[in-house]
Amino acid sequence: MSKTVRVVDGVTTPKPDRRTLRRIYKDVPLFLSLSATTMIVLVALLAPVISPYDPLHLDIASALRPPSPGAWFGTDEAGRDVLSRTIWGARLSLVSAAGVLVIASSLGSAVGIVSGYRGGAVDQVLMRLTDLFFAFPGLLLAIAITTALGPSPENAILSIALVWWPVYARLVRSRTLSVKENLYIEAARALGLSEARILFKHILPQSWGIIVARLTVDIGHAILLTASLGFLGLGNRAPSPEWGSMIAASRPYFLSYWWTATFPGLAMLITVVVFSLAGDTLYESLGVSKAS
């Protein structure tokens, strides 16, 4: 049997595309971008180990001290170490972004695969629903949903996910429309396999590559949105060491004490750029368009 196919439920189907994994070590831009994302994730995971101080520890006597050997990023208005808070901010931001994308991609993929496979009236109804969400600016809709649910980190994650799922619905629907015409799907139907099994065992695995690439790009955007809600006081709020809330708390001091907002802002900028570049290289490796 060819190495490019597998047998599932008695049906010979193509294996999910793993070309990207085999190219990682050969494609220098892809390798570097994924290495950088791995480093950021490791910093977030190891925050309790590598942060020099407790990010919530108050020391009023040391408030607003400039960067120095004892506090490389200086201290904030309450004497808390900005470096430690920036490191912990990576942890909070990535966890929030991951929560957003898990919910959005799961919901969107389910809607997209059902819409593409069923077609007809089901497709029309589900796609008009996605169009309704696309009609509103994402940030404004997230603010409205969070305000209605009540400001909290959990509601901020849920509101952004509710704004974002149509992106994955369109992406997976497009892939489903092309995959469902293959002969092995006809064979699966002829064998009497249930619709759910065909969708999630034979069609969805063919979409993993573009879903993962899209997730990598969207992590940066999700971080920006969660930080925006934190900045507005609708997500994580002070004294939480989250980048958006840190920048919001430092506004009154920024002109005189530049480090209080600069380092969290730079950390967020670098993270967003790195994840976006990693997603772009994955898209190029898969040979698909981001407009798919």
- Token pair 């892809």 in the structure block, residue: 30
Among the listed residues 25, 39, 23, the one whose alpha carbon sits nearest the alpha carbon of residue 275: 39
Q: What are the structural domains of the chain?
A: 42-286 (1.10.3720.10)
> How do beta strands 11-14 and 5-8 pair?
antiparallel
CA–CA gap between residue 95 and residue 205 (Å, rounded) = 25
pLDDT in tens, 48-68: 999 999 999 999 998 999 999
CB atoms within 10 A of CB 72: 15
The full 3-state SS of 189-211, as one line of letters, equals HHCCCCHHHHHHHHHHHHHHHHH
pLDDT in tens, 257-268: 999 999 999 999
Q: What pLDDT was estimated at residue 27?
A: 67
Q: What pLDDT was estimated at residue 288?
A: 54
At 185 the three-state DSSP class reads helix
pLDDT in tens, 164-211: 999 999 999 999 998 888 888 888 888 888 888 888 888 888 888 788
CA–CA gap between residue 289 and residue 268 (Å, rounded) = 26
CA–CA gap between residue 11 and residue 184 (Å, rounded) = 6
Q: What pLDDT was estimated at residue 20?
A: 46
User: In which band, very low, low, confident or very high, does the pLDDT at 1 lie, cut at 50, 70 and 90?
Assistant: very low
